[in-house]
Chain A
Amino acid sequence: MAEKKFVSKEELLDYLDDKAEWLRKEIIRISAIAGGSHLGGGLSMADIIVALFYYKLNLKRGDPKWPDRDRFILSKGHGAVAYCPVLADYDFFPREWLDTFNKLDSPFGVHPDMNKIPGIEMSTGSLGHGLSVSVGIALSARLDRGEWRVFVLMGDGETNEGMVWEAAQSASHYKLGNLTAIIDRNKLCLDGPTEEIMSIEPIQDRWEAFGWRVFDVDGHDMEQLVDALDKVPQPNDTKPTLIIARTVKGKGVDFMENVPIWHYSGLDKGKSLEAIASIEKNRPSRRVS
C-alpha cells in the first residue's frame, strides 16, 4: 500500500514508475555483483512487483511478521532478484545484505529461502508450487476470519505444471475470493517461446473455465496494473482472481528485450552501464512535471 499520499493519480503513477526504474537498476546492480541472475524474468516482473508492493499490498515497514499483512508468494522463485530489493526497501533487513547475493552463507541465492530472508513468506523455486501454497494460506485466512489477502506471482511457463491446475480447481472449489494470482506473461520460457515449447493459450478461457475471474492487462503499463488491482474484490468474495500481465522478457534494457540468452546471465561493467543507461532512457515519460 502506498505509504505516501498523492494529490492525483498521475502523481501516484509517476511515483510507481520511479520505483520501477529504481528496482530495474537494483536488478542490474545485484546481477553484476552476484555474477549472474535471472535478468530477463526479473525485468519482466519489475512493474508488477512495484504495483503490488508500493500500491496494493497492506504491509508495515520494518515488521515482516505483522499478523494482518497481505501475503505475497513468489511462485516464480527465480525472480528473487526483482523481489528482495523491495523487502530491503521496506526495512525488513539491512540493504547491505543484498550485496552478498549468491555468495557462500549469503541469505540470498537465486531462489528465496523463508528461513533466511525476513519478509519471504514461503521458500520457492520449484515451479508450480506457489499457487497451492497460496490456497493453503487463503484457507487459513478464512478460518481466522482474516481481512487480509493472498497474492501470488507465477511465471507463464510454470502454468504447464499439473499442480497449478490442481490448485486452480481447489481455489474455486473453496471459493477463495481472498486469493489473487498474477501471471507474468512474458511469452518466453527457458527453451524458447511458450507457445512453441508447450502452449498455454487461451489463458483467459482456461482460467475462466476453472472458475476464476480474469483480467488481462499490459504488465508494463502502471495505470493498467493499478486499475486491475483496484478491481480485486473484497476478501470475502467467492471467486479467485487472475491477472494476466502481458510483459516483455528483459523489459527496459534494449539489448535484453526478448533475447533468450538473457534469461540467466552475469554482467560485466560495460554491459551494466549500458543496461542502466537503457533503463533511464526507457522510463515512461512523466505525467506531472
Chain B
Amino acid sequence: MSEDIQKQIVDGFTFTTDTYNELTQAEVYGKVITELAKKNENIVVLTADQMRSNKTGDFRQVFPERFFNFGIAEMNMFAAAAGMSVSGKIPFVSTMAAFASMRSAEALRTDIAYPNLKVRIISTHGGLSLGNQGTTHHATEDIAILRSMANMTVIVPADSIETAKAVVASENLNGPVYIRIGRSLEPMAHENDQFEYTIGKSIMMRDFGTDAAVIACGVCVKHAIDAADELKEEGVNIRVINMHTIKPLDTEAVLENARATGAMITAEDHNIIGGLGGAVAETLAEAGIGISFRRHGVPDVFSDIGYPEDLYERYKISTTGIKAGVKEVLAQK
C-alpha cells in the first residue's frame, strides 16, 4: 500500500483504509459488525468458543446482551441462529470454516438454507490458512458444500477491505450468506477501498492483455495479481479476475474472459472439485466453450501439514504456481 493514502471514512465507519492494512480479516469483521449493530438493533452475534480467534470480542464489549457464546457445540449454535432469525433477529454466526461447513452442515442446510433465513455465516480460517495446525483444521471442502445448498450465497473475500464490503453489502440480501475468510496476515489485494463492490459481480484486478485470464478468489487473488505483474515483465500480458462471489457466479465475466483470451486458469485455496474451479468449468462447458483451461487448488487430496505459504507453493496457488499454470495454458492455447 502506498504511503500517501489518505485516511478515508468508509461507508460511515470510524476506521480507515490505513487501519485495514493493520487489521486481519477477522479483526475487520469484528469492527464492521459492531458498527452495523449500532444502526440495526436486530443484529446479534453468535460464536462457539471462538471469540478470541474470530475477534467478535469487540462486539461483545459494546453489546454484551446481543452476544452469545454457545461453547464448543456448533450444530446447536447454527440451529439456534435459525430460531433467532425466525424471531426477527439478524444473526452473524462465526466459527472456523471446517466446523461451520462440516460439523454443522445439516443445520446450515435444513435450518437456515431451506427456510431461506437471513443468517450470516462468517466462516474463519478457510482453506489452508491453518496449515501447520494440521489437516483437521483445513477447510478445503466448504465452498463445494455450501455452493450445493439452494438459497445460499457464497462469498470468498480477497482481503480485509473486501471482507468489510461483503459484510456491509450482505445487509441487503434476505437469504443466508456464507462469507469465508482466512486466518489473518493475508496480504492486501486492494490498494485502497475506493472501488465498487457488488455481490455477484467480479472485479477486474489486472487487465494487461488477452494472453490468458486468471480467475481467483480469496488469498489467491493477491497471488494472481503478483503473477500478472511479474508475467508482464516477461512479456506475457494477462487478466486477473477477482471472483469474490462463488454463488451466484458472475458467469458473464467467465464467458467474456474465456472468449477474449482462450486460455484460463482458476486459483482457489480449496479442493479443485466443487469450488471456484468447478463452477467456472461448469459455466464454460454449458456454454460450449472449449479453451485451454486448468483448475489450480488442492488436487483432491487431504492437504499436507505446513505453513500456509509452503502449502500454497505445493498446490500451485502461490504466485509461482499461478505463473507456471498460465504458461501451461498458454502453451496449449
Inter-subunit contact B87/A140 (CB<8 Å)? yes
Q: Cα distance A169–B88 when bound, in Å? A: 24
The residues of B that contact A163 with a CB separation of less than 8 Å are 75-76, 79, 107
Inter-subunit contact B83/A135 (CB<8 Å)? yes
How near does chain A come to B278, taking the closest CB pair, in angstroms?
27
Inter-subunit contact A167/B89 (CB<8 Å)? no
| A143 at the binding interface (Cβ < 8 Å) | yes
| A203 at the binding interface (Cβ < 8 Å) | no
Question: Interface stretch among A114-122, A240-248, A270-278?
Answer: A114-122
Inter-subunit contact B70/A123 (CB<8 Å)? no
Inter-subunit contact B73/A123 (CB<8 Å)? no
| B111 at the binding interface (Cβ < 8 Å) | yes
Q: Cα distance A163–B78 when bound, in Å? A: 11
How near does chain A come to B22, taking the closest CB pair, in angstroms?
33
How near does chain B come to A37, taking the closest CB pair, in angstroms?
21
Inter-subunit contact A132/B79 (CB<8 Å)? yes
Given contacts A139-B68, A139-B84, A170-B73, contact A129 B79 (CB under 8 A): yes
| A31 at the binding interface (Cβ < 8 Å) | no
Inter-subunit contact B87/A136 (CB<8 Å)? yes
Inter-subunit contact A170/B76 (CB<8 Å)? yes
The residues of B that contact A115 with a CB separation of less than 8 Å are 115-116
The residues of B that contact A136 with a CB separation of less than 8 Å are 79-87, 91
Q: Cα distance A143–B88 when bound, in Å? A: 11
Report how many residues on chain A are interfacial, defined by Cβ distance under 8 Å.
Answer: 29
Given contacts A136-B80, A170-B71, contact A129 B86 (CB under 8 A): no
The residues of B that contact A173 with a CB separation of less than 8 Å are 71
Partner of A140, one of B76, B79, B84, B116: B84
Partner of A132, one of B65, B76, B87, B116: B76
Instruction: Mark A126-154 against chain B: 1 for CB-CB distance below 8 A, else 0.
Output: 10010011111111110110000000000
A174's closest neighbor in chain B, by CB?
B68
Q: Cα distance A138–B79 when bound, in Å? A: 12
Q: Cα distance A123–B114 when bound, in Å? A: 8
| A64 at the binding interface (Cβ < 8 Å) | no
Partner of A135, one of B76, B85, B116: B76
| B44 at the binding interface (Cβ < 8 Å) | yes
Report how many residues on chain B are interfacial, defined by Cβ distance under 8 Å.
Answer: 28
Q: Cα distance A114–B110 when bound, in Å? A: 12
CB-CB contacts below 8 Å: B78-137 with A: 79-89, 91, 106-107, 110-111, 114-116
The residues of B that contact A260 with a CB separation of less than 8 Å are none
B106's closest neighbor in chain A, by CB?
A126
Q: Cα distance A137–B107 when bound, in Å? A: 15
The residues of A that contact B89 with a CB separation of less than 8 Å are 140, 143
| A107 at the binding interface (Cβ < 8 Å) | no
Inter-subunit contact B110/A133 (CB<8 Å)? no
How near does chain A come to B115, taking the closest CB pair, in angstroms?
5
Q: Cα distance A257–B168 when bound, in Å? A: 56
Instruction: Mark B54-76 against chain A: 1 for CB-CB distance below 8 A, else 0.
Output: 00000000000110101101011
Q: Cα distance A139–B111 when bound, in Å? A: 17
| A196 at the binding interface (Cβ < 8 Å) | no
The residues of B that contact A122 with a CB separation of less than 8 Å are 82-83, 86, 111, 115
Q: Cα distance A139–B91 when bound, in Å? A: 12
Inter-subunit contact A167/B110 (CB<8 Å)? no
Chain A residues close to B by CB (< 8 Å): 71, 114-115, 121-123, 125-126, 129, 132-141, 143-144, 162-163, 166-167, 169-170, 173-174
Q: Which 3 A-B pairs have the closest CB atoms?
A: A136-B83, A132-B79, A140-B87
